[in-house]
Amino acid sequence: MTVVVLVVGALALFVIGARALLVGASLLAHALRVSPLLIGLTVLPFATSTPELIVSIDGAWAGQSELAIGNIVGTNTFNVLFILGLLALIARLPVSSSVVRKEVPIMIGASFLMWALSHDGHIGRVDGAVLLFAMVAHLKVLHLASVGGDSGRSHALREPAGIRGALPGIGLVILGGGLLALSAQTVVDVAISAATDMGMSPHSMGLSFIAIGTSLPELATTIVAVRRSEYDLAVGNVVGSNIFNVLTILGVTALTSPEGVVVPPALIAFDVPVMIASAMACYPMVRSGRVIDRREGAVLFGGYLAYGAYGWFYAAHHAPSFTQAMLFFAIPLLAATIAVSGRTGVAQPPPHPNR
C-alpha cells in the first residue's frame, strides 16, 4: 500500500513539475529572445536528466558502474523508441529543420563515440574528458547557431499569461526540475527494490527499471509540451537529453568515478548497437517530411516492445551477441523506418500549429 501511495504521489509531482518546467522554459525563450528549440536542446535536458546524473554518479561511487552505463544506454533507447513513438502515435510531430540537419546527426555521432570509447570494456577519465569536450563543442555550436538566427525561430512559443521575465522563468525551471527529480528518485528507489528482489544484475537494472524511472521526467515534459502544441520543446527535449546523457552524464561519471566506468560485454554486443540503431532510425523519419507521423511512431513504439521482449528472453537464457543484435533488431528497425518514411528527400514541412 505504501508503494502505491508513493508511486501515485510521484506521478502527481511529474505532472506539476512538467507544467512548471514548460512554463519556465516559455518565459526564458521570450525573455532571452531565443528559439524554443534552443531551450529544448539545452535547458530542458539539464533539468529533466538530473535523475540520470544522480543514479549514474551514485552507482559509480558505490562500485556499480555497470548500473550507471546501463541506465544511460537504456534511457536513450527508451527516449527515442518509447517516448517519440508514443507521442507520434498521439499526434504528428513537426520537426524543425535544425533537428534534421544538425541535432539528430549529433545524437547519432555521440552514440557512435560512446560505442568506440567503450569497446575495450572500460570508459576511463581520459574518455570522460573527451566526452565532456564534445559537449562543450556542441553547446558552442548551438550558441553560434542561435546568434546567427539558425535555430528554428519561426516556431514561436505561446507567451505565458500573467507573468513575464527571465527571473520567474529561471525560478519555474528550477522548481519544475526539482519536482521532476524528486518524483523520479522515488520511482527509481521503488524500481531498484523490485529489481533487487528479482535478482537482476546491476546493468540489467539500469537498462530496464531504472532507465524507465529516470526517463519519466522526459516523458512527462514532452507530453505536456505536445498538449500545449510546443513541438520544438518536445522533440528538442528528447534529442537534447540523449546528447546530454552520453556526453555530459557519462563524461562526468567517468571523470569522477574512482575506477572509471566498467562496460559489460553484453552491453557492448547488444544494447549499445540497439541504442545506435534507435538514434539512426530517427533520421529517415525526420528527413522524409520534417514530421514524425503515426506510422513512424508505430514503428518506434513497436521497436521498443520488441527490444524489451527480446531482452527479457535472453536475460532468462543467455547473453545476446552483436550478430543477433544486428539480425534481429537493428537491421529490421532501420529497414522498417526507411520503408514507412517513403521519401528520401526533404519535403516541405506541414503548417506549424503555432504559426
pLDDT in tens, the chain (355 residues): 566 676 677 767 777 877 787 777 777 777 777 777 777 777 788 778 777 787 777 777 777 777 888 889 989 999 999 999 999 998 888 888 777 778 889 999 999 999 999 988 899 999 999 999 999 998 888 877 665 555 444 444 455 555 666 777 788 888 887 887 777 777 777 766 766 666 666 667 667 777 777 788 888 888 888 887 888 778 888 998 999 999 999 999 998 887 888 888 888 888 898 899 999 998 888 877 678 888 999 999 998 988 887 766 665 555 666 676 776 777 788 888 888 876 544 444 444 444 4
In a domain, 116, yes or no: yes
In a domain, 346, yes or no: no
Note whether 280 and 115 are within 8 A (CB).
no
| H or E, element range at 207 | none
Overall pTM surpassing 0.85 (yes/no): no
Query: 183: domain range?
Result: 2-149+167-341
CATH of the domain at 71: 1.20.1420.30
Q: How far apart are CA 181 and CA 218, in angstroms?
A: 11
In a domain, 145, yes or no: yes
State the alpha helices, DSSP H only, in 78-150: 85-90, 97-98, 104-118, 125-147
What's at 60, amino acid-wise?
A
* Number of structural domains in the chain: 1
In a domain, 106, yes or no: yes
Pairing type for strands 93-94 and 291-292 reads antiparallel
In a domain, 159, yes or no: no
In a domain, 93, yes or no: yes
Q: How far apart are CA 57 and CA 67, in angstroms?
A: 10
Residues in the chain: 355
In a domain, 352, yes or no: no
Chain-centroid distance, C-alpha 34? 22
Residue 49 is placed in which grid cell? 536528466
